[in-house]
Amino acid sequence: MVQPIELQDVLAKTQAAERITQLQKASPENDQRQSLLIAGQKASEAQHKATPAVHPDEVILHRNPEEEKKRKKEKKGDKAPKEGTDEDADKIPPAMDEEPPLPPPVLDITV
């Protein structure tokens, strides 16, 4: 006949084995539920998150490149010391020289 210790051991192992098989069967279902919950949360976050606005009618101001080069050349020419005008240079410090007025900016409008 079967000894009582063996019977208890077999019953305990049977219950544990049944639980393991139940968990293994439920595991794919739980994984699917979890992935659906995560996807739902991401979708709701995406709905609440503001999308960046695109401004196709934005105006961008640029200086005319040719005029900019011309102005830089003139500025460099003003800083170069002139021959025979050392006395004038002593009277007027270079920091007080006025810069020529800037040319009006060029508008580039893209639509």
**Three-state SS at 37:** helix
Which region among 13-22, 35-44, 54-63, 92-101 has the lowest average model confidence (pLDDT)? 92-101
Q: What six digits make up the tokens of 41?
A: 């949360």
Alpha helix positions (H), 3-64:
4-48
So where are the chain's domains?
A: 1-48, 55-80+101-111
Q: What six digits make up the tokens of 6?
A: 């063996």
Confidence check: pLDDT of 50 > 70: yes
Confidence check: pLDDT of 56 > 70: no
pLDDT band at 36 (very low <50, low <70, confident <90, very high): very high
**Nearest by Cα to 100 from 67, 60, 65, 71:** 71
| Residue whose entry in the numeric block shows the structure tokens 């009277």 | 91
- Whole-model pTM: value is 0.31
